[in-house]
C-alpha cells in the first residue's frame, strides 16, 4: 500500500524522476537562487521588534556628560602608549583605580603557528587590564562587559578614553544590579581570547595565560568599542562572530533603539539604512547589505572582539566609530549616552537574552529575515543533489526501466547482482585517496613551513600559503592515479556509483553546514551544486572541467573577495585580488589556530575531498 | 443563597449607636437619617490587595497596589483588616535608583512605600493557593492573624488585583478522540472487538497578550476566572462576606469577572476582553513606568474622597473614560442587590463607623418592619425567613440514586456494513475492477 513499496507506483514515480530530472533540477536550482534574492523584499524581510520585556522601551535617562574627561583620558593614553610602545599597563591600572574600579591584570603569551604578516606578529605576549565595577546592592552573580581592543596598528585611544569616562560615570550610579567589567585587551583579539579563556577556565587554543585574580558573575552581554577619533560621523555595528555565530537579535534591537533615540547615524556593513521599503530602492539596498552579511558570515572569522564572546554564548556586538567626510559629526558624549542607555537597559535584564532570534539575516538595522524564511533557499539547492542522486540510484538498479523495456533488453538483467558488489569495492580507492589529499591539505602546510622556507626563497607565511595552493592543485592530478587502481570491469557503473556517493556526501555536508552557518552553506551550495550535478565522464569534458575548477572552494573564495569589494564600492584589480586572496588564505589558517575558526578544517577535510570526487568522476576511464 | 440578617445585631447596633433624646421635631427626617445609617448593612470592612507580578519592569504593579493600600488605609481600614500581597520587592531591588522607596507619580511627592507598610504575603508566598486559602479561610491553624481574612457575614470586602501578562504563549491543547470499533464477526472466532483510539493533540498559539480568562501569578502559575468565581461562591456559602467589590487592573480584565455567579458582588475591570491595559507615568530616572492608567485615575478619584463623602459607585464607574484609559474599563453589577447609586464609595474603600449624633428622639421601627422596608421589592424575602442551611457541596444522595444513563442510539452494524458495501459497489461500477491494483 505504501508509495515506494508498491512496484507499480514505484515504477511510475521512477519514470517521472528519470524523465523530468533535468527540468526539475533546473527549476529547483532556479527556485533556490530566486528565493534567496527575494529575501530582501518585504513579505520575507520583516521589521525587527523588541521581544524582551525587560528592555521594552528606551525609557531611561542618559546623564553621561564626561566628554572632556574622555578626551583627556584618550590624550594621556595615547601619549603613554607612544612613550612605552606597548599598552601602558601601569597608567591604565592607575587610571582605573582613580575612577574607583577593582583593577586586575592578566598576562598572556602565544606563539602563532607561523608569522602573521598582516598584523606583523609571531611570538605574542601581552597584558590585559580590566576593572570591575561591583554592583552596590546585588550579589556578584551576573556581569556585563565593555571591552576595547588595543592592537598594534589601531590606536583606539578614544575608545579607551570613553571607557574610562563611562566607568567613572557608572561608578557614581547606584542602580547597578550586575557587575560591569571594563576590559582593555592588548593585541586585540588574541588578548580577548586569552581573557575569555581564563575567565571561563578553559583552554581551547593553546594560549598560555595567567589565571584571573578577579572575577564577576556570569557574563550576560558584552559590547566592544572601537573609536579612533574625537568625533564620529556614524557608528557601524558588527554582529557576525566566530564560525558565523550571531548575537541575539534583541541586543541589536537595543542598539538600534538607542541610535534612534540619540539621533545617531548608524550603519550596518558600512551601508546607510534605507528608509523607503515600499518602493524598489529600499529592498535593493537591503539586498546589498544582505549579500555583504552573507559573505562576512560565511567567512567564519570573528569580525571584532564580540565574535569571540559568542562562543561562550555571551551576547555581544562591536561598535565602530566611523569618521568620514560627512558634515554632521557626533562627539564622544553622544556615543557615551548611547552606551549608557544600552548598559542601563541590559542592567534591567532578568534572564539571559533569549526571547528573540539567534539565527537571522539582516537586510538593514531595522529589518531581518528569520530562519524559517531563509532556509527554503538552501533546501531548494540541496533538492537538486537529492534528485540527481535518486536518478543515479534508479539507473544503477534499472528501476526506471519499465517492464516492456526491460523485456526488450534482457541482457541488462543478469549482470545486475555482481555489478553492485564491484561498484562498491571500486569506490574505496578514490574515496580514500581524496580524503588523504584533504588531510594533507590540512596538516602539511603548517607542518612543513620550515622545510619549505629553507628550500625556497620565501618567508614562512608565504610558504604556508604556497604549500596550501600546491597541495590543492596537486589534488587535481588525482584521476590519473586512481584509474589504474580501479577495477574497470563495469565502466559506466563505476562512475555512477562514485558520483552517487559524492552527491550524498556533498548533500549531507551542505545540509549540516547550512544549519550551523547558513551563509556558508548557501554560498557553497550555490556554487558547487550545478557543477556537481553536471559532472560526468561523457559529454563536453573540457567545459565541465572548467566549470568544476571555477566552482571549487578556493575559486569560490576568490570570487567572494571580488564580490565583497564590489559591494563595498571599492572594486579590486586582478593583482590586488590575488594578493588579498593569499592574505585571506593565511588569515583563514591563522584564525583556525588562534581562535578555533572551523572554516579551514571544514573545507580541507570535508568540501575539498568531496569536490575531488566530482573531479574524479569527470575524468573516469 | 439565603442572606443572613442577624436581627439581634441590628438591635444592638441601634441601641448602642443612636442616641435617643426627647423632642420629636422633624421626625421623618431623622428617621430617614436612621435609615441611611443602616442602608449598607455591613459592620466591618476588609481589603485584600494583590500584586501578582514579579520583576523590575513590573514596578508599576507594585506601585498600583501600594497606592490602593495607602488610600484604603487613609479612609480608615486598619492594617489588621488589610491583607496585602506583593509578589516582588521593588523598594529593595538593586535596580531602584531611589532605594527603599516606591513612587506612583513622577513628581515624586509621595513615597507609597512609606514607613508603615505591612506586607502580609510577599515574594514567593504570593501563590494561587495562598490567595484562595486567604479568601476561603482554609488556612492552617498556625497562620498568624495578620495573614488571615477574618471576615464575617457583615463584612464588606474590597479585592484589588493587578498583574501583568508576560508575552508567553499559551498552549491550548485540544484533544480529539476519534474512536471506532469493529463489530465482532461471528464467523471468525479470533476476531475480537477492537477499539482504536486516536488522540490528536493540537497546540495552537494564542495571541501575544494571552490571558482571556486567567490571571498570571508570579511567572509560574495562573488562576482562572472559574476558580475565582468558585472561590467567591465558597466565601458566600461560608458567610464570609456581606458585599464584595472586585477590582482588577490587567489586560483583558473583564474576562476575570464574567464567570462570577455569587450574589452581592460588584466587579470592575480596567479593560475589556481583547484589550490591553496600558501603563502611565513613564519615569526615565527610575527607568520604568510608575503606574497603570486605570489605577492612576481611580486613585486620582479616591484622593478626593474623605470618610464623609457621599460619592457613590456610579462615580467610580466613570473615573476612567476611554479617552484617558485607552482601554475600555468595564463593570458588572447584575449580581449586586443594591442600586450602585446608593452604594457609597466608603462602603468598600473605607471603614466608616456609623455614628449620627442627634438630640432628637426617634422611635425605631420593629426589626421586621425595617427588614420589610428594605426588601419590600425583594422577592426572596420569604426565603430569607427560612431557616438557613449550608448548600449541598457534594450531592451524595443524587449520585447514589441516579439511574444508569441510557445508551446513545447507534445505527445497527448491519446498516453500516451495507452502506459501505453500497459505496464500494458504486465505486467499482464507476471506475471498473481493473483499476483495483492502483488503489492498493
Answer whether B283 sits within 8 Å of A59, measured CB to CB: yes
pLDDT at residue A423 tops 70 = no
Residues of A in contact with B289 (CB under 8 A): 59
Is B375 inside any structural domain?
A: no
Task: Judge if B223 and B174 occupy the same domain.
Answer: no
Residue pLDDT, tens place only, A263-304: 899 999 888 888 888 888 889 999 999 999 999 999 998 889
- Answer positive or negative: Cα dihedral of A202, A207, A211, A214: negative
Count of C-beta atoms within a 10 Å radius of residue A473? 11
CB-closest option in A59, A137, A347 to B282 = A59
Q: How confident is the model at residue A16 (pLDDT cuts 50, 70, 90)?
A: confident
Cβ separation A57–B97 shorter than 8 A? no
pLDDT of residue A15: 80
Residue of A nearest to B97 (CA): A175
Q: What are the distances in angstroms from CA B203 to CA A109, A131, B175, B177?
A: 54, 49, 10, 15
> Degrees (nearest 5) of the Cα angle B340, B341, B344?
85
> Tell me: the pLDDT tens digits for B72-102?
888 888 889 999 999 888 888 899 888 888 9
What residues of A are in contact with residue B282 (Cβ under 8 Å)? 57, 59
Residue pLDDT, tens place only, A426-444: 778 888 888 998 999 999 8
* B368: in domain: no
CATH number of the CATH domain containing B86: 3.40.50.1460
B127/B224 same-domain check:
yes
The alpha carbon of B292 is separated from its chain's Cα centroid by a whole number of angstroms, namely 19
Residue contact A53–B97, C-beta within 8 A: no
CB contact under 8 A, B437 and A8: yes
Residue B287 has its nearest CB partner, among A8, A348, A355, at: A348
Interface touch A175/B96, C-beta < 8 Å: yes
Q: Specify if B405 maps to a domain.
A: no
pLDDT of B275 > 80? The answer is: no
Coil vs helix vs strand at B203 = strand
pLDDT, average across residues A111-138: 88
CB contact under 8 A, A61 and B440: no
Mean of the pLDDT values across residues A373-401?
Answer: 84
pLDDT at B329: 85
Q: Which of B315, B349, B383 is the last residue of a domain?
A: B349
**Does B98 share its domain with B198?**
no
Whether B158 and B239 share a structural domain: yes
Mutation target for A interface from B108, B167, B218, B287: give the one with most A CBs within 10 A. Answer: B287
- Determine the Cα–Cα distance for residues B341 and B314; give it in Å rounded to an integer: 6
pLDDT band at A405; cut points 50, 70, 90: very low
Nearest-by-CA chain A residue for B439? A1
Q: Are residues B220 and B201 in the same domain?
A: no
Mutation for A interface: B95, B169, B291, most A CBs within 10 A: B95
| Numbered residues of chain B with Cβ closer than 8 Å to any chain A Cβ | 55-57, 92-97, 99, 166-167, 282-285, 287-289, 437-438, 440
Asked whether the beta carbons of B384 and B375 are under 8 A apart, the reply is yes
Report the residue of chain B nearest A346, measured CA to CA: B95
Please determine, for residue A401, whether its predicted confidence score (pLDDT) is greater than 80: no
Residue-averaged pLDDT of chain B: 74
What does residue B173 show for φ and ψ, rounded to 5 degrees?
-100, 125
Which chain B residues have a beta carbon less than 8 Å from that of A174?
A: 97, 99
Residues B71 and B153 in one domain: yes
Using the beta-carbon criterion (under 8 Å), do A59 and B95 form an inter-chain contact?
A: no
Dihedral through CA B90, CA B95, CA B100, CA B103, nearest 10? -60
Same domain (yes/no): B323, B175: no
Cross-chain Cβ contact B57/A56 below 8 Å:
yes
Q: Is residue B264 assigned to a domain?
A: yes
Residues of B with Cβ-Cβ distance to A175 under 8 angstroms: 94-97, 287
User: Each residue of B36-64: pLDDT tens digit?
Assistant: 666 667 888 899 999 988 888 888 889 98
Residues of chain A with pLDDT > 90, as a percent, come to: 50
**Does one domain contain both B243 and B138?**
yes
A chain contacts of residue B96, beta-carbon cutoff 8 Å: 175
Let me know whether B292 and B150 are in one domain. yes
* Residues A1, B95: C-beta atoms closer than 8 Å: no
Whether residue B382 is contained in a domain is answered as no
Please, which pLDDT band fits residue B405 given cuts at 50, 70 and 90? low
Name which of A96-105, A349-358, B185-194 the model is least confident about. B185-194
For A78-102, write each residue's pLDDT tens digit: 999 888 888 889 999 999 999 999 9
User: Which residues on B lie below 8 Å from A60 (Cβ)?
Assistant: 284, 287
- What pLDDT was estimated at residue B217? 84
Residue A472, all three cell numbers: 590543492
- Using CA atoms, how far apart are residues A429 and A616, in angstroms rounded to an integer? 11
Among the options B209, B280, B289, B331, which is catalytic? B209
Indicate the residue of A56, A57, A175 with minimum beta-carbon distance to B97. Answer: A175
pLDDT of residue A489: 53
Query: Which range among A233-247, B333-347, B356-370 shows the weakest confidence by mean pLDDT?
Result: B356-370
Does residue B328 form part of some domain? yes
Chain A residue whose CA is closest to B165: A53
Q: Is the predicted pLDDT of residue B209 greater than 50, yes or no?
A: no
What pLDDT digit, counting tens, does each position of A552-578 carry? 999 999 999 999 998 988 888 889 999
pLDDT of A172 > 80? The answer is yes
- Is B401 part of the annotated catalytic residue set? no
Cβ atoms of A45 and A35 within 8 Å: the answer is no
Nearest CA in chain A to B167: A53
Structural domains in chain B (count): 2
Query: Residue B322: which domain range?
Result: 44-166+211-349
DSSP characters over A111-177: EEEEEETTTTEEEEEEEEEEEEE--TTS-TTEEEEEEEEE-SS---HHHHHHHHHHHHHHHT-S--S
Decide if A174 and B97 are in contact by the 8 Å CB cutoff: yes
pLDDT surpasses 80 at B373: no
Annotated active-site residue B209? The verdict is yes
pLDDT at A417: 42
Interface contact B99-A174, CB threshold 8 A:
yes
**3-class DSSP state for residue A465?**
helix
Please tell me which residue of chain A has the smallest CA distance to B288.
A59
pLDDT surpassing 50 at residue B206: no
| Domain edge (last residue) among B320, B349, B378 | B349
pTM over 0.90, yes/no:
no
Average pLDDT, stretch B361-375?
61
Could you tell me if B201 and B328 lie in one domain?
no
Q: Which of A95-99, A125-129, A541-545, B433-437 has the lowest mean pLDDT?
A: B433-437
| B295 found inside a domain | yes
Do A18 and A391 touch, CB atoms closer than 8 A? yes
> Taking CB atoms and an 8 Å limit, are A348 and B95 in contact across chains?
yes
Q: Which residue of B has its CA nearest to A347?
A: B95
In a domain, B392, yes or no: no
Cα–Cα distance for residue pair A245/A309, rounded to 1 Å = 10
Distance from CA of B438 to the nearest CA of A (A): 7
Q: Mapping DSSP to helix (H, G, I), strand (E, B) and coil, where does residue A336 land?
A: helix
Q: What's the pLDDT score for residue A317?
A: 93
- Whether A51 sits inside 8 A of B167 (CB atoms) is yes
Identify whether residues B172 and B274 lie together within a single domain.
no
Chain B residues inside the 8 Å CB shell of A250: none
Q: Sorting pLDDT into bands at 50, 70 and 90, what band is B185?
A: very low
**CB neighbourhood size of B185 (10 A):** 13
A136: chain B residues, CB-CB within 8 Å: 94
Mean confidence (pLDDT) of chain A = 86
| pLDDT value at residue B402 | 63
pLDDT band at A146 (very low <50, low <70, confident <90, very high): very high
pLDDT in the model for residue B437: 61
Mean pLDDT of A470-475: 87
Active-site entry in B51, B251, B320, B325: B251
Whole-number Å distance between alpha carbons of A240 and A519: 11
B157 and B275 belong to one structural domain = yes
Amino acid at each position: 500500500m505504501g508509495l515506494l513499496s508498491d512496484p507499480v507506483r514505484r515504477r511510475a514515480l521512477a519514470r517521472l524522476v528519470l524523465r523530468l530530472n533535468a527540468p526539475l533540477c533546473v527549476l529547483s536550482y532556479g527556485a533556490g537562487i530566486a528565493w534567496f534574492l527575494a529575501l530582501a523584499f518585504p513579505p520575507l524581510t520583516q521589521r525587527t521588534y523588541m521581544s524582551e520585556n525587560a528592555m521594552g522601551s528606551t525609557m531611561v535617562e542618559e546623564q553621561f556628560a564626561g566628554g572632556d574627561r574622555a578626551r583627556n583620558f584618550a590624550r594621556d593614553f595615547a601619549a603613554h602608549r607612544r612613550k612605552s610602545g606597548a599598552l601602558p599597563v601601569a597608567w591604565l591600572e592607575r587610571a582605573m583605580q582613580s575612577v574607583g574600579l577593582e583593577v586586575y591584570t592578566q598576562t598572556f603569551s602565544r606563539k602563532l603557528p607561523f608569522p602573521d604578516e598582516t598584523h606583523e606578529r609571531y611570538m605574542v605576549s601581552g597584558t590585559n587590564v580590566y576593572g570591575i565595577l561591583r554592583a552596590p546592592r546585588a550579589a556578584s552573580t551576573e556581569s556585563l562587559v565593555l571591552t576595547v581592543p588595543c592592537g598594534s596598528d589601531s590606536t583606539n585611544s578614544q575608545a579607551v578614553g570613553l571607557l574610562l569616562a563611562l566607568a567613572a560615570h557608572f561608578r557614581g550610579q547606584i542602580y547597578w544590579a550586575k557587575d560591569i567589567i571594563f576590559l582593555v585587551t592588548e593585541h586585540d583579539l588574541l588578548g580577548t581570547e586569552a581573557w575569555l579563556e581564563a575567565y571561563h577556565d578553559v583552554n581551547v587554543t593553546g594560549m598560555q595565560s595567567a589565571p584571573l585574580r578577579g572575577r564577576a558573575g556570569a557574563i550576560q552581554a558584552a559590547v566592544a568599542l572601537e573609536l579612533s577619533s574625537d568625533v564620529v560621523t556614524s557608528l557601524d555595528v558588527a554582529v557576525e562572530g566566530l564560525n558565523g555565530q550571531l548575537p541575539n537579535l534583541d541586543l541589536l534591537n537595543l542598539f538600534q533603539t538607542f541610535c534612534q533615540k540619540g539621533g545617531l547615524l548608524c550603519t550596518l556593513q558600512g551601508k546607510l539604512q534605507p528608509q523607503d521599503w515600499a518602493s524598489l530602492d529600499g529592498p535593493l539596498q537591503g539586498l546589498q547589505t544582505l549579500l555583504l552579511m552573507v559573505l562576512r558570515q560565511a567567512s567564519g572569522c570573528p569580525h571584532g572582539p564580540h565574535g569571540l564572546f559568542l562562543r561562550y554564548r555571551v551576547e555581544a556586538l562591536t561598535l565602530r566609530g566611523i569618521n568620514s567626510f560627512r558634515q554632521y559629526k557626533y562627539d564622544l558624549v553622544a556615543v557615551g549616552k548611547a552606551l549608557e542607555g544600552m548598559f542601563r537597559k541590559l542592567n534591567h535584564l532578568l534572564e539571559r537574552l533569549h526571547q528573540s532570534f539567534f539565527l537571522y539575516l539582516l537586510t538593514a538595522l531595522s529589518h531581518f529575515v528569520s530562519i524559517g524564511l531563509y532556509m527554503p533557499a538552501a533546501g531548494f539547492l540541496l533538492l537538486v543533489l537529492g534528485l540527481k542522486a535518486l536518478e543515479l540510484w534508479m539507473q544503477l538498479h534499472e528501476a526506471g526501466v519499465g517492464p516492456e523495456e526491460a523485456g526488450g533488453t534482457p541482457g541488462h538483467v543478469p549482470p545486475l547482482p555482481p555489478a553492485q558488489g564491484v561498484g562498491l569495492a571500486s569506490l574505496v580507492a578514490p574515496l580514500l585517496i581524496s580524503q588523504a589529499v584533504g588531510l594533507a591539505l590540512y596538516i602539511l602546510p603548517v607542518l612543513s613551513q620550515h622545510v619549505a622556507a629553507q628550500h625556497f626563497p620565501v618567508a614562512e607565511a608565504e610558504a604556508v600559503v604556497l604549500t596550501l595552493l600546491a597541495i590543492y592543485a596537486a589534488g587535481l592530478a588525482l584521476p590519473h592515479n586512481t584509474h589504474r587502481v580501479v577495477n574497470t570491469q563495469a565502466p559506466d557503473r563505476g562512475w555512477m556509483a562514485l558520483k552517487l556517493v559524492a552527491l550524498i556526501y556533498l548533500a549531507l555536508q551542505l545540509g549540516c553546514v547550512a544549519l550551523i552557518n547558513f551563509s556558508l552553506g548557501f554560498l557553497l551550495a550555490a556554487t558547487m551544486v550545478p557543477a556537481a550535478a553536471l559532472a560526468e565522464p561523457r559529454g563536453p569534458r573540457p567545459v565541465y572541467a572548467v566549470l568544476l575548477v571555477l566552482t571549487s572552494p578556493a575559486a569560490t573564495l576568490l570570487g567572494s573577495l571580488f564580490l565583497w569589494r564590489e559591494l563595498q564600492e571599492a572594486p579590486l584589480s586582478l593583482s590586488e585580488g590575488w594578493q588579498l586572496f593569499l592574505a585571506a588564505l593565511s588569515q583563514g589558517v591563522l584564525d583556525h589556530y588562534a581562535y578555533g575558526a572551523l572554516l579551514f578544517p571544514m573545507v580541507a577535510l570535508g568540501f575539498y575531498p568531496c569536490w575531488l570526487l566530482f573531479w574524479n568522476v569527470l575524468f573516469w576511464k | 443563597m439565603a442572606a443572613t440578617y442577624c436581627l439581634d445585631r441590628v438591635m444592638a447596633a441601634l441601641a448602642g449607636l443612636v442616641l435617643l433624646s426627647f423632642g420629636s421635631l422633624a421626625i421623618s427626617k431623622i428617621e430617614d437619617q436612621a435609615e441611611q445609617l443602616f442602608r449598607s448593612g455591613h459592620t466591618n470592612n476588609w481589603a485584600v490587595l494583590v500584586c501578582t507580578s514579579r520583576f523590575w519592569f513590573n514596578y508599576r504593579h507594585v506601585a498600583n497596589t501600594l497606592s490602593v493600600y495607602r488610600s484604603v488605609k487613609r479612609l480608615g481600614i486598619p492594617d489588621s483588616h488589610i491583607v496585602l500581597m506583593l509578589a516582588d520587592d521593588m523598594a529593595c531591588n538593586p535596580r531602584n535608583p531611589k532605594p527603599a522607596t516606591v513612587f506612583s507619580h513622577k513628581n515624586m511627592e509621595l513615597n507609597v512605600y512609606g514607613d508603615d507598610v505591612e506586607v502580609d504575603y510577599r515574594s514567593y508566598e504570593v501563590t494561587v493557593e495562598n490567595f484562595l486559602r486567604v479568601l476561603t479561610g482554609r488556612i492552617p491553624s498556625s497562620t498568624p492573624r495578620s495573614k488571615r481574612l477574618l471576615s464575617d457575614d457583615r463584612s464588606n470586602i474590597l479585592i484589588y488585583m493587578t498583574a501583568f501578562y508576560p508575552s508567553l504563549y499559551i498552549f491550548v491543547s485540544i484533544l480529539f478522540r476519534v474512536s471506532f470499533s469493529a463489530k465482532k464477526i461471528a464467523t471468525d472466532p479470533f476476531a475480537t472487538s477492537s477499539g482504536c483510539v486516536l488522540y490528536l493533540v493540537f497546540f495552537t498559539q494564542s495571541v501575544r497578550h494571552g490571558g482571556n480568562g486567567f490571571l498570571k501569578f508570579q511567572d509560574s502559575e495562573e488562576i482562572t476566572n472559574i476558580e475565582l468565581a468558585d472561590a467567591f461562591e465558597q466565601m458566600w456559602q461560608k458567610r464570609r462576606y456581606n458585599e464584595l467589590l472586585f477590582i482588577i487592573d490587567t489586560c483583558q480584565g473583564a474576562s476575570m469577572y464574567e464567570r462570577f455567579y455569587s450574589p452581592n458582588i460588584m466587579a470592575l475591570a480596567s479593560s475589556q476582553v481583547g484589550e490591553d491595559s496600558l501603563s502611565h507615568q513613564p519615569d526615565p530616572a527610575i527607568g520604568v513606568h510608575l503606574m497603570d492608567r486605570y489605577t492612576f485615575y481611580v486613585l486620582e478619584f479616591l484622593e478626593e474622597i474623605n470618610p464623609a463623602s457621599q460619592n457613590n459607585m456610579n462615580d467610580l464607574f466613570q473615573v476612567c473614560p476611554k479617552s484617558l484609559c485607552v482601554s475600555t474599563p468595564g463593570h458588572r453589577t447584575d449580581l449586586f442587590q443594591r442600586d450602585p447609586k446608593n452604594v457609597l464609595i466608603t462602603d468598600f474603600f473605607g471603614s466608616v463607623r456609623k455614628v449620627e449624633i442627634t438630640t432628637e428622639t426617634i422611635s425605631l421601627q420593629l426589626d421586621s418592619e425595617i427588614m420589610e422596608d428594605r426588601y419590600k421589592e425583594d422577592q426572596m424575602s420569604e426565603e430569607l425567613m427560612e431557616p438557613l442551611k449550608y448548600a449541598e457541596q457534594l450531592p451524595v444522595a443524587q449520585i447514589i440514586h441516579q439511574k444508569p444513563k441510557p445508551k446513545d442510539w447507534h445505527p445497527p452494524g448491519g446498516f453500516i456494513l451495507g452502506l459501505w458495501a453500497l459505496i464500494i459497489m458504486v465505486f467499482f461500477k464507476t471506475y471498473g475492477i481493473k483499476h483495483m491494483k492502483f488503489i492498493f
